[in-house]
Amino acid sequence: MKSVSIIAVIPFVLFGCASNHPSVAPEKNVIPEPTVVATPHNCQFPQDQKRRVFHSMYADQDSADKAYAKLSAYSPEMQYLQLMMTARQESIDSSTRNVGGDLGYIKFASFDKSFATAVFHLPLKRLSHPIQSKFGWHIVWVSDALDIKTNAPCE
């Protein structure tokens, strides 16, 4: 019987009991910490944002068109993953081939104008048609966009 009474007392010793004792009562004037949530920014202009870009590059339009036809047959959810695999196998861009075509976050002014114009007008999470730049033909996927000054997500 002693073991039962000890077990019954342990929760009160460890966790306290519900009482009106001031040391146990919750504080009434405690203001909870505000939750910081990144508010999406409008990012209306290409210069206001940076975009995370994945691409596979080809030497000619015919090769890019064939790759696009193959990739566009997949569901939108799978196109991104398939593009990364295709970039590892087929892309002529040796600097991004081993990372699945990941260009990282790019700024509009940092790239070939025709490429940047196309990339910054693409809807997010959609496969592009082949895009020509002075380096070759690209198939692009833009995963997300951030405000260039605050790193907050763009709408």
pLDDT tens digits for range 19-53: 444 445 445 555 555 444 455 567 878 888 999 99
Does 16 map to a domain? Answer: no
pLDDT digits (tens, 9 = 90+) for 90-141: 999 999 999 999 999 999 988 989 999 999 999 999 999 999 999 999 999 9
pLDDT digits (tens, 9 = 90+) for 56-75: 999 999 999 999 999 999 99
Within 8 A by CB and 6+ apart from 83, the residues are 54, 55, 56, 71, 100, 101, 127, 139, 141
Does 12 map to a domain? Answer: no
Residue 91 belongs to domain spanning:
46-147
Does 101 map to a domain? Answer: yes
Number of domains in the chain: 1
Q: Burial code of 56-83, b = ≥16 C-beta within 10 A, e = fewer?
A: bbbeeeebbeebbeebeeeeeeebbebb
Cα three-residue angle 132-119-72, rounded to 5 degrees:
75
10 vs 45, which has greater pLDDT?
Answer: 45
Q: CATH number of the domain at 143, please.
A: 3.10.50.40
Does 74 map to a domain? Answer: yes
Does 39 map to a domain? Answer: no
142 vs 35, which has greater pLDDT?
Answer: 142
* Whole-number pLDDT of residue 29: 58
pLDDT at 15 over 80: no
